[in-house]
Structure 1
Amino acid sequence: MTTSPRDDAVATVGGYTLLARLGEGGMGVVHLARRGPAGQRVALKVLRPHIVGDEEARRRLAREVGSLTRVRSQWVAEIVDADPWAEVPYVATRYVPGLSLHDLVVEEGPVTGADLLWLASCLAEGIASVHAVGVLHRDVKPSNVLMEGRTPILIDFGLARVADDPKLTHTGWLLGTPGYLAPEILYGDDATPATDVHSWAATVAYAGTGHPPFGRGPSMAIMDRVRRGQFDLDGLPPELREVVAAALAPDPLERPTLEQLLAWLRPLTTRPGERRTPPPTAPPHDPYTVPLALASQAAADDTTDVWPGHGTAEPHTLALTSYQPGYQPGEPGEQAPARVPWGERLRRGTLLAGLALVAGAGCAAYPWIAVILLLVLVWLLRSGSLAGSARDQRRDLRGRKWYDGVQLLVATPWHLVQSVPGTLLLALWSVGLALAAALVCYAVAAGLSLALFVCGTALTVSLWLGPGGSRVRGPVSRVVNPLAADPRRWIVALLLVVAAAVGLGLRADLSGTTWTPADGRPSAQLPG
């Protein structure tokens, strides 16, 4: 005999004997069940007809179950059986005989000390095991965490992708609990791994403080606090509070990744032998524009080429990749970049030096035009690098989307504005060094063309190495590095660069300096 989700009087579903009703949610009714007199007890979720009713929805559920049956983790109540095509579809998971985290906190108070760190770590491990098969949970919350002793077991992930079914929005279901839903879900955006990170943080905050981090009250008020990032973490240990606060950032791009959370938690809990890493924190709002004093310090430490606001060392030998907050070189499992042969390094350096000579010769022949073109080019390169990094971060969080190109185009004006402060700082820095070179040329009574050539070269090198110059080096390296990798292409490129430098130099030497768009030489006191 079979049963429907609304009929508890009938004893079996799909060959399982129903022993007790465990709970009810928007997706279905959960029963404690057993197959046969001596069979293993399971948590049997019987799905509601309006959730899974047609063939398309059943196919979605079948695909999801096929993925989730590959999840094998001690921190997850795995799927042990399912039949999406039964008259009454069901999903059976491992039964965990314990209180939910919500009920445990209500009865015994907040989780504290080492038990709280253990809970945070095991919960993150469970979410990671679900992500590993390409599925998001989307509904991590205290009532979906069962406590097996002091160990949390993640449950109710069997309908993760079925929750994307557009029919649910038509029936008015709210898929999730206010206070544990990430802000992007409230705005109607797609779920990403960062969505589960936000829910992880809210759940850990509840466990450690004994109250929901976004408070209680009407759902609309709670959701408004979630959108604004207004949370209460009083009661959490200081270091954990810093991590949880970062993971509750309203902007998913500012949250640490699950991998970063685990890299910090594992040495403290599940893998005590691993090297300790600093706690992950949210990156600053604009990591690419830095105060002058900090930039000066960064310039003094330029051997590592790490700028304030970047957690990433940007190797001179690699093209610039997307900015990854909290990256630590040499983390376990990190594959070191391949070492570039010295011959290729030499070709890169020669080509870059040639480009600097072209800029210097351009300044000797057409000073104002060359300087304006250099500064505009730096601004555009930095803007493009910012836009590319933002696109890569979005892809890291939610994968590639068909509208990535459109989104990049729409966001370009903002990145053009965003790069202005950093470009101005870099320009002031570089112009100052170019003026210092001009004073040296004046002191040795160098000719006008030579002085302009030296100043233009100094300006170009300063724009390359100055504060924020990594955003210039990255895009240029994307062009120079492939050319240097092939000796034949490198020779052709080098000949073109040398020809341009020589041509501009001869133009300045034979015809004199052209001050267009100005009417003439700015000062008769200049040497030459």
Structure 2
Amino acid sequence: MTPVEGSDTERAGPYRLLEFIGEGGMGVVRRGLDHRGHEVAVKLLKPELAVNADFRRRLAREVDTMRRVRSPYVAEVLDADVSAERPYVVTRFIKGSPLDDTVRASGPLSGEALRRLAAGLAEALVAIHGAGVVHRDLKPTNVMLVGGVPVVIDFGIAHAVDATRLTRLGQVVGTPGYMGPEIIEGATPGPAVDVYGWAATVTFAAIGRSPFGTGSLESVLARIASGRPDLDGVPPWLDPLLRAALERDPARRPSAPRLVERMRGAGPEVPVLPAAAEETLPDRTAPARRPSLRVYKVLAYVSIGGAAAACAVLPFLGGAGVVAAGWYLRAGDSAVRNRRVPVRTAGELVLAPTGGGRIRSTAMLVPAVTYAGLAATAVGTSLFVREKLEGTVASGGITKWTAVVFAYMILAGPRVMAPRRQLVRLLSALARDRRATARAGLLIAALAVGAAVAGWVLPPYWWPLPPPDRVLGRLADLAEDLIRDLG
């Protein structure tokens, strides 16, 4: 992207704020410039949302998930600061025209232009849903056309707002005419609500109006509840798919991948963005389909389990490594969540601790190490007492379990979330598609199993320190010599 000159009168964190782009129920959007002079879109959340601590926590979790979405048909989240006085979310800046403006200015789309829009929006939903995100407010104003190719904007934030129930009396998160009946009925919306929004948006593009018309809120909601959309004027090749996607029952609507299949069957494959729009895409090679977030969480736990098992064999080196890893992961989590560190690439995420949060994570590590040390001491003491009563004291077994408990408590003990959270981010950034995730999973599982087997069958090695019993024996000899000398 080409750097752009601009005013330096207002800022949101490190971003210079320029002209207003738009305003919605959750805040205002401004064009901005990052530290390199590249254009971004900065969404500033409304003050009444910012004062709600629960909303900030939910938004932080949503932003973590939203960062995983990578698609040429989605304006990806580049950065966010949910701890600022006025929280903001930064996305890729789209140089295009909103779908509603295009249709009103030039008339409804048809033929190849309509196929391109419908297929591109379906591809966007595949990427969004694949990352575990539900848009919840897909509509013509949230679709930008770049050389005729759609790019979805403003996704994910509505989830955090709706979850905190911050809507005004009589107001819902969504736009009448484009939101599914499940939202109106107060049910928890899933990916099917975006399929509904897809159909309503494509209908608008095809005939220039919502499938449920306009008018008062009550009349539009009543038509939605009736389940009888007006698709008069929609091309015959598109009509059956739109009706299926507008089913009142979410379970009867096709999935986003099914929409992609049907659209490809209806016409040529979705074209790529024109060369003039290439500069707006940070990563055209990123895959749209990704593993579920649960997969990365499982891999994080397996990694932590393997690290803990390694400490059974190498208590000193393993324990020191776990403490260092705990500091690194805490610093990265603090930098990403609180210090406005952008996470556009895996490299920036790996280096996130250098951008901020180091002092805070060091301070947080002191009680964490103390907490883990007390837990490990309690476990070791309990094992010693039990074996002493049984008359079979085995210092090796006690040492192993003490080291394992210490390592686990540092990285994943009760209410210890920062290391796991940052580890999930790292795994998600480094293994970005299903094949890479499968390879990473096999490697992590093999290492974890190897560490567990070694921890079970091998005695603990204290290198570069001598074994504790030798140290204790030497201290006892020194004490005896001192008492003898004093006597």
TM range (shorter): 0.5 to 0.7
Q: Quote how far apart the aligned CAs of 1:268 are.
A: 4.5
CA distance in 2, matches of 1:180, 1:102: 13
**2:55 alignment partner in structure 1:** 57
CA contact (8 A) 1:106 1:210 kept: yes
CA distance in 2, matches of 1:139, 1:10: 32
CA distance in 1, matches of 2:156, 2:8: 25
CA distance in 1, matches of 2:15, 2:268: 36
| Aligned AA (1:122) | G
CA contact (8 A) 2:66 2:77 kept: yes
Cα gap change, 1:172 to 1:53, in 2 (>3 Å): farther
- Pick one of 248, 272, 297 that aligns with 1:250: 248
**1:441 alignment partner in structure 2:** none
**2:125 alignment partner in structure 1:** 127
CA distance in 2, matches of 1:102, 1:176: 16
CA contact (8 A) 1:77 1:155 kept: yes
**2:103 alignment partner in structure 1:** 105
Q: Quote how far apart the aligned CAs of 1:204 are.
A: 0.3
**1:184 alignment partner in structure 2:** 182
Runs (5+) with no aligned partner, structure 2? 1-6, 272-487
CA contact (8 A) 1:216 1:222 kept: yes
| Aligned AA (1:146) | M
CA contact (8 A) 1:145 1:153 kept: yes
CA distance in 1, matches of 2:101, 2:164: 32
| Aligned AA (2:58) | R
Residues 1:66 and 2:56 are matched in the alignment:
no
Counterparts of residues 58-457 of structure 1 (less than 5 Å): 58-169=56-167, 172-268=170-266, 271=269
CA distance in 2, matches of 1:258, 1:207: 18
Question: C-alpha offsets along residues 442-483 of structure 1, whole Å, 9 cap, x if unaligned?
Answer: xxxxxxxxxxxxxxxxxxxxxxxxxxxxxxxxxxxxxxxxxx
- Residue 167 of structure 1 aligns to a residue in which SS? coil
- Residue 97 of structure 1 aligns to a residue in which SS? coil
Task: Name the Cα RMSD after superposition.
Answer: 2.1
- Residue 23 of structure 1 aligns to a residue in which SS? strand
CA distance in 2, matches of 1:222, 1:55: 34
CA distance in 2, matches of 1:215, 1:186: 16
CA distance in 2, matches of 1:156, 1:99: 15
| Aligned AA (2:251) | L
Cα gap change, 1:168 to 1:268, in 2 (>3 Å): same
- TM-score for both structures, normalised by structure 1: 0.48
Question: C-alpha offsets along residues 404-451 of structure 1, whole Å, 9 cap, x if unaligned?
Answer: xxxxxxxxxxxxxxxxxxxxxxxxxxxxxxxxxxxxxxxxxxxxxxxx
**1:491 alignment partner in structure 2:** none
Cα gap change, 1:259 to 1:19, in 2 (>3 Å): same
CA distance in 2, matches of 1:49, 1:69: 24
| Aligned AA (2:99) | L
Greater percentage in helix = 2
Q: Quote how far apart the aligned CAs of 1:184 are.
A: 1.1
CA distance in 2, matches of 1:227, 1:101: 26
- Residue 226 of structure 1 aligns to a residue in which SS? helix
CA contact (8 A) 1:179 1:202 kept: yes
Q: Percent identity?
A: 45
- Residue 251 of structure 2 aligns to a residue in which SS? helix
**1:17 alignment partner in structure 2:** 16
Q: Quote how far apart the aligned CAs of 1:237 are.
A: 1.3
CA distance in 2, matches of 1:269, 1:238: 13
- Residue 86 of structure 2 aligns to a residue in which SS? coil
Cα gap change, 1:20 to 1:124, in 2 (>3 Å): same
Q: How many correspondences in the alignment? A: 265
Q: Quote how far apart the aligned CAs of 1:175 are.
A: 0.9
Q: Quote how far apart the aligned CAs of 1:257 are.
A: 2.1
Q: Quote how far apart the aligned CAs of 1:259 are.
A: 2.4
CA distance in 2, matches of 1:222, 1:153: 27
- TM-score for both structures, normalised by structure 2: 0.52
**1:35 alignment partner in structure 2:** 34
| Aligned AA (2:18) | L
Question: C-alpha offsets along residues 268-319 of structure 1, whole Å, 9 cap, x if unaligned?
Answer: 457489xxxxxxxxxxxxxxxxxxxxxxxxxxxxxxxxxxxxxxxxxxxxxx
- Residue 238 of structure 1 aligns to a residue in which SS? coil
**2:465 alignment partner in structure 1:** none
Question: C-alpha offsets along residues 350-369 of structure 1, whole Å, 9 cap, x if unaligned?
Answer: xxxxxxxxxxxxxxxxxxxx
CA contact (8 A) 2:195 2:245 kept: yes
CA contact (8 A) 1:91 1:158 kept: no
CA contact (8 A) 1:26 1:173 kept: no
CA contact (8 A) 1:121 1:269 kept: no
Cα gap change, 1:160 to 1:167, in 2 (>3 Å): closer
Residues 1:45 and 2:65 are matched in the alignment:
no
CA contact (8 A) 2:80 2:89 kept: yes
Question: C-alpha offsets along residues 327-362 of structure 1, whole Å, 9 cap, x if unaligned?
Answer: xxxxxxxxxxxxxxxxxxxxxxxxxxxxxxxxxxxx
Q: Quote how far apart the aligned CAs of 1:192 are.
A: 1.4
| Aligned AA (1:20) | E
CA distance in 2, matches of 1:217, 1:172: 17
Structure label with greater radius of gyration? 1
CA contact (8 A) 2:15 2:32 kept: yes
CA distance in 1, matches of 2:268, 2:89: 30
CA contact (8 A) 1:81 1:92 kept: yes
- Residue 128 of structure 1 aligns to a residue in which SS? helix
Q: Quote how far apart the aligned CAs of 1:10 are.
A: 5.4
Cα gap change, 1:87 to 1:270, in 2 (>3 Å): farther
Cα gap change, 1:10 to 1:125, in 2 (>3 Å): same
CA contact (8 A) 1:34 1:42 kept: yes
CA contact (8 A) 1:58 1:85 kept: yes
Question: C-alpha offsets along residues 110-166 of structure 1, whole Å, 9 cap, x if unaligned?
Answer: 010011011101001101111011110000000000111110100001404213334
Cα gap change, 1:17 to 1:171, in 2 (>3 Å): farther
Query: Quick one: higher RCO (CA 8 Å, sep 6+), 1 or 2?
Result: 2
Q: Quote how far apart the aligned CAs of 1:241 are.
A: 0.8
